[in-house]
Amino acid sequence: MKRLAIRKIASYFLAIIFCLMLFIYTMAFPGNTSWFIFLFFLILFFILFFSTLFSWGKAEATIHTQLDQSNNFLIHLVTKSRFPVFIPELTIQLKVKNQVFEVVQPIFFKNKINAEFTDLQIPRGRYQELVVQTYGRDYFGLFLHQKRKKIALDFDIYPKLISVRYRQQYLQKLTSNAQLKQYLKSSPAQFHQIREYMPQDSLKQIDWKSSYRQQKLMTKEYEKEIQPRVSLIFYGVESLYFEELLSLFYTLYEELKLTNTTHIHLIGKIEEKIMKRTDESALLFIEPIKQLEELLSLYQNAMASQDYFIVFAPREVVPSLQNIRKEQAIYFSETELIHTEVSKDI
């Protein structure tokens, strides 16, 4: 940015010096030719200078997520005055967090541009604003166009889901666990009592023998079936494989919630605070922290229920977590990661 600003000032300075020299030459050697040359270059410089002063009015961004979870951004820009642009091409930069993406497109004699950024791997998070910067020079490269435009949007990027190819192998660890399989078996509804039939009761539940004895319709009442609940805990301590474990956590959560009552607990730094969150939106903001003591107390609090727990944590902290609860719990660490190069390094 500083380099561009310096080059912009330098180009203006050189243009002024050139015009000044032409003016001095014209005054020293007056004549039709010298005045024609002076006015020609003066008008040319003004045209070139004003051709770079356009700014953007309408600005829109359209985002499409592809099957491989990369993102395509289409940026639509229209000049504020709606007059055509007289520079040959523009460099359009898209700034997303700490990443910068760039495309170059011709724009001569156009008043709008559609810049497409394809196959972008964007960090997870909530995006409410994009910053687009445009750069370009006139045909002679003397003057620089440089504008910045903010585009409002509402777009969430969750952790990357693991491909189906590897997903089944992770699920195999869960389905092969005899204790978890037994836990997930729903207990049959238990008989509670026989009572008088009510209009909202099902006819299938009528006890005909009792109805005959009582000379009125009687129905069987059962206790509600209690669905077993699985809780997934993500232990957000600092690790080289933080994002990979978070992807595994999110992938298994998406799979398990289709067939089971599933809760999540995300423990870590969320929106600049160390806390435990149980909502999916926390997946957008959770960051790793080093303070193990604070995380451990939140972990103990999450373990207070009688759920079956699936815990995701770096391998160096798994033993200490198992000391808190070893029964009715499964632990995933980076040693189980098979969809990355992690397992080769361990």
Residues in Cβ contact with 282 at an 8 Å cutoff, skipping those fewer than 6 apart:
266, 270
Judge whether residue 345 has pLDDT over 50: no
Angle between helices 2-28 and 32-50 (to 10 degrees): 160
Cα distance between residue 323 and residue 310, in whole Å: 15
Q: How confident is the model at residue 205 (pLDDT cuts 50, 70, 90)?
A: confident
- For residue 317, what pLDDT is reported? 92
Query: Is the domain of 168 the same as that of 210?
Result: no
CA distances to 239, 297, 300, 328 from 324, in Å: 21, 11, 7, 11
Give the model confidence (pLDDT) of 122-150 as tens digits.
999 999 999 999 999 888 888 889 999 99
Query: Is the domain of 232 the same as that of 218?
Result: no
Give the model confidence (pLDDT) of 299-331 as tens digits.
988 888 888 999 999 999 999 999 988 888 899
CA distances to 17, 25, 35, 163 from 28, in Å: 16, 5, 11, 77
Query: Is the domain of 153 the same as that of 97?
Result: yes
Query: Is the domain of 172 the same as that of 70?
Result: no
Query: Is the domain of 7 the same as that of 94?
Result: no
Query: Is the domain of 168 the same as that of 306?
Result: yes
The closest alpha carbon to 47, from 143, 136, 113, 135, belongs to 143
Give the model confidence (pLDDT) of 51-60 as tens digits.
888 999 999 9
What radius of gyration, in Å, describes the C-alpha atoms of the chain?
A: 34
pLDDT mean over 213-219: 83
Query: Is the domain of 174 the same as that of 312?
Result: yes
Query: Is the domain of 29 the same as that of 114?
Result: no
Query: Is the domain of 86 the same as that of 146?
Result: yes
The total domain count for the chain is 4
- For residue 188, what pLDDT is reported? 54
Judge whether residue 187 has pLDDT over 80: no
Q: What percent of the chain has pLDDT over 90?
A: 40
Query: Is the domain of 327 the same as that of 218?
Result: no
Query: Is the domain of 198 the same as that of 315?
Result: no
Cα distance between residue 153 and residue 114, in whole Å: 17
Name the most confidently modeled range: 39-48, 63-72, 231-240: 231-240
Note down the domain range covering 323: 164-184+227-345
Judge whether residue 62 has pLDDT over 70: yes
Return left, alpha or beta for 125; rule: phi > 0 is left, psi -120 to 50 is alpha, else beta. Answer: left
CATH code at 246?
3.40.50
Query: Is the domain of 84 the same as that of 128?
Result: yes
- For residue 10, what pLDDT is reported? 73
pLDDT mean over 143-166: 89
